[in-house]
Amino acid sequence: MLLRNCAPLLAFLPLFGACHQDDAPVSVAHPHYELGNAWHGPQGWFYPYEQFDYRATGLATREMPLKGQLASDGEVWSADGMTGSHQTLQLPAVVTVRNLINGRVVRIRLTRRGPENAGRIIALSPKAADLLGMTADTPVEVTEEEAASRALVEGLTGAPHLDVQSAPVGEVRAESLDGGVAKTYGSDSSEGHQAASTVAAMPVTWSQGSPGPTGLYVLLGKFSGRGAAASIAARCSGEVERVPDGAGLDWRVRSGPYTDTAQADAALDRTHACGVEGARIIVE
């Protein structure tokens, strides 16, 4: 009799258990500096390195969702955040992205590695891509904000610091002559900065800039001598150009222009057949 009366309750117990088991653990943010080792995408290797004056043109794409998981730098990823992915820059970093078709500009924080496609230089979160007016992979200009990027990594766990020994700061003790309370200013503590546990969200805004250029090319490489550049150009049907103030790499080889993204992607794929690694799509 007792079991028969409890049967409805027993029938619900598996449902309660299932609900409990389906609860996903909450991701806990632990922002940190991330550079990482070389990594391999479907079309070749990427070699991360620290740089604070990055500026490049190319094609932007949308980030794939993480659904609450942590980004590469330990931040909790959100589709509504103003964030993005980069293949080689230190993480986190602050960049502006200008849509070269409509001139819109967004300011985002790079928190993830990617995109894996060598023909895309950056991936934007869904919110940032929407504000930029992206409906497909889009020609963009990416410019790093040096001061903001440097300030961002200060105090983050894992960030490189100069090994400079500084003199210890002694205590300065002040006490009133009439027996008042003593106060200590400073100490000999040599503890470093505390690692940040949170990083402020980027403002969800966009601004209007100038559009253009939108010509698609494939940059096959930069070289110190014209002979090496001419050899690559002959093998890969490119053109040799002199680079003003090339910092030693005074010659470059590029092919194009191409009428659309599909043509540029096909030309990039052909660079592997002619023995070139590290070619990329640029916009000029």
Domain regions of the chain by residue span:
26-158+198-211, 215-284
Amino acid 165: pLDDT: 47
Region 201-214: mean pLDDT is 97
Confidence of residue 28 (pLDDT cuts 50, 70, 90): confident
Amino acid 198: pLDDT: 77
Q: Out of 105-119, 171-185, 191-205, 263-277, which region has the weakest mean confidence (pLDDT)?
A: 171-185
pLDDT higher than threshold 70 for residue 15: no
Total number of residues shown for the chain: 284
Region 9-27: mean pLDDT is 49
Beta pairing, strands 280-283 & 216-223: antiparallel
Task: For residues 105 and 211, give the distance between their C-alpha atoms in angstroms, rounded to a whole number.
Answer: 10
pLDDT higher than threshold 50 for residue 182: no
> Around 90, how many Cα atoms within 13 Å sit in the side-chain half-sphere?
20
Q: Out of 23-27, 66-70, 279-283, which region has the weakest mean confidence (pLDDT)?
A: 23-27
Percent of the chain with pLDDT over 90: 68
pLDDT higher than threshold 60 for residue 186: no
CATH topology of 26-158+198-211 equal to that of 215-284?
A: no
> How does pLDDT run across 214-226, given as a tens digit for each residue?
999 999 999 999 9
Amino acid 209: pLDDT: 97
DSSP for 193-242, please give it: PPPPS--PPPP---EE-------EEEEEEEESSHHHHHHHHHHHT-EEEE
Q: Out of 38-52, 73-87, 193-207, which region has the weakest mean confidence (pLDDT)?
A: 193-207
Confidence of residue 39 (pLDDT cuts 50, 70, 90): very high
| Number of neighbours of residue 66 by Cβ within 10 angstroms | 16
Amino acid 24: pLDDT: 53
> How does pLDDT run across 81-127, given as a tens digit for each residue?
999 999 999 999 999 999 999 999 999 999 999 999 999 999 999 99
Superfamily of domain 26-158+198-211: RlpA-like domain (2.40.40.10)
Coil vs helix vs strand at 72: coil
Task: For residues 40 and 52, give the distance between their C-alpha atoms in angstroms, rounded to a whole number.
Answer: 23
Task: For residues 75 and 70, give the distance between their C-alpha atoms in angstroms, rounded to a whole number.
Answer: 5
Triad 265, 270, 272: Cα angle to 5°: 115
Contact status, residue 27 vs residue 70, Cβ threshold 8 Å: yes
Contact status, residue 62 vs residue 124, Cβ threshold 8 Å: yes
Amino acid 68: pLDDT: 76
> How does pLDDT run across 224-281, given as a tens digit for each residue?
999 999 999 999 999 999 998 778 899 999 999 999 999 999 999 999 999 999 999 9
Which CATH architecture best describes the domain 215-284? Answer: 2-Layer Sandwich (3.30)
Task: For residues 13 and 110, give the distance between their C-alpha atoms in angstroms, rounded to a whole number.
Answer: 45
More confident residue, 261 or 173: 261
pLDDT higher than threshold 60 for residue 191: no
Task: For residues 127 and 80, give the distance between their C-alpha atoms in angstroms, rounded to a whole number.
Answer: 5
More confident residue, 99 or 156: 99
Please name the residues in contact with 158: beta carbons below 8 A apart, sequence gap of 6 or more. 32, 33, 34
